[in-house]
Amino acid sequence: MLRALVFLAALAGLATTLPGDVPCCELSYVVRPDPTSGAVDVMLDVRGFRGDSLTVMRASSRPLPGLLGEDPVVDGERPASWGLVDGQPRWTYLPPADGWPDVLRVRYRLAITAQRPLNAWAVGLDRDLLYAPAEALFLLPGMPELAAQHAPVRVGWDLPEGWQPFTGWSGGSFRGTRTLLKTNVLAGEIERHRVAACGVDVELGVHGDWSFDQQVLVGDLGRIVCAARARLGDPGVDRYAVMLVQARFPMTSGNRNGPHTIAFVHSVPGGEPPSTRLLAHELVHLWQRFDAPPWFQEGVNDYMALRLAREADLLDDAAYAKQFAAIDSIYRRHPHRRDWSFAQETAEAQPYGPSDEYLAYRKGALVGLALDRELLLRTGGHADLAALWRDMNARARFGHVLWTDGDIAVRAAALAEGSVTHYFAHWVGGTSDLPGPGDLLANLPDPPAPRGDRPGFSTLAAFVQTSFGRLKR
């Protein structure tokens, strides 16, 4: 009883810091792209700011090629002092003598160059397209972490005639600047495709001319959504937005843009669509309500994506094995395969390279397959990697969103009902060679049947059987 009273008292103390009691601020943006000048003008109104000084920042240290920005100007205030903090540009304004007004208006201009390769890390403004990471467009006032996650945000679009916005949020208003930062923006002459998939609306926004049927592509996305929901649980949203934009040179890339959106920047000879593996990889990211080391966040994700694509009937057994053979081949050729653990690679590898260059991606996918095998064999098929994933997601509800290698090992050991120290020491913390995918896939027990009590599971089989025709893989 005493413990319960202490716990309730602690909850009462936390109540003043939960969403709804954040003292600052309401943010309202108006975005006006001008393709003729190559510039985007943004006006930000900050309501209710009461800090000692106002700091406006681009909350990212990522390189954003093609982006040139002018210093933001606050109406009626002195010019800001400028600096970098951990690679993030920041402008700081001192308070006026009579205090901050109720509404602070911040104006700034971004010049976006279009004559260069466009990829998932870049921004572009063309005659009929604006494509950019939101962090390139939206400066944020520096606020306490909780306020930054839960402040009301409104975005208005002043677009050229015939243009429409396509983002990860519905309408122009939402709560949470983290979502704002993580969501790419696609605006322009956009074609839309939609499918309802096991309780989730999947909407595809497409720019450019393509040689394949985009409705078939959105159908494949819906299949993966159904498989992921059956295995990994309720996604917690009722809509996913997917962007497809043409690159200016042969490439394929995808990136997650927050809890509601993914984007593909794609162009290969022949106009083929993004691969099933890439589609599944980015969709599975949307079922990660946690942050983890890159070997899990990206590599294990890649394995889970392939497994779900197979369960969604988008890969047959031969194609499934071929995917792992390709991953294994890249892993075996890596120059640091016997030198770098995952932690060493994080410390020493160059950032922002192609995924094939990183053990975290390719070795990590094989580690995911091996971990799934370990759990299935040790529990007689009762627990698997999907159970670990659901466990990690469930703990995010209690604030556990940043996982270490040790944290993951503890939860894996709980599922396996025994130590996994040897496994993690060799394959995660060490540099031992993994078995080949043929050995890892051989005699692999079937995973537990998806739980039928999950919303939408009963529609999975029907969706897979009666859905759209599929693109050739």
- According to the model, what pLDDT value does residue 77 have? 79
- According to the model, what pLDDT value does residue 271 have? 77
- According to the model, what pLDDT value does residue 217 have? 95
Assess contact for 351 and 374: CB atoms under 8 A: no
Assess contact for 365 and 356: CB atoms under 8 A: no
- According to the model, what pLDDT value does residue 469 have? 35
- According to the model, what pLDDT value does residue 180 have? 84
- According to the model, what pLDDT value does residue 133 have? 87
Task: Give the integer Cα–Cα distance in Å for 75 and 106.
Answer: 6
State the 10-residue block means of pLDDT for the chain, 473 residues long: 38 34 75 92 90 84 80 84 87 87 92 68 84 89 68 92 90 81 89 95 92 94 97 92 85 81 82 91 94 96 98 97 98 96 95 91 98 96 97 90 95 95 94 95 90 44 37 37
- Point out which residues pair with 242 in neighbouring strands: 204, 262
Beta strand ranges found along 278-418 (DSSP E): none
Assess contact for 168 and 179: CB atoms under 8 A: yes
- According to the model, what pLDDT value does residue 383 have? 96
Within 403-449, residue ranges assigned H as helices are 405-416, 421-423, 437-441
Three-point CA angle 30, 36, 41, nearest 5°: 20
List the one residue out of 253, 256, 354, 345 whose CA is nearest residue 295.
345
Q: Model's pTM, two decimal places?
A: 0.85
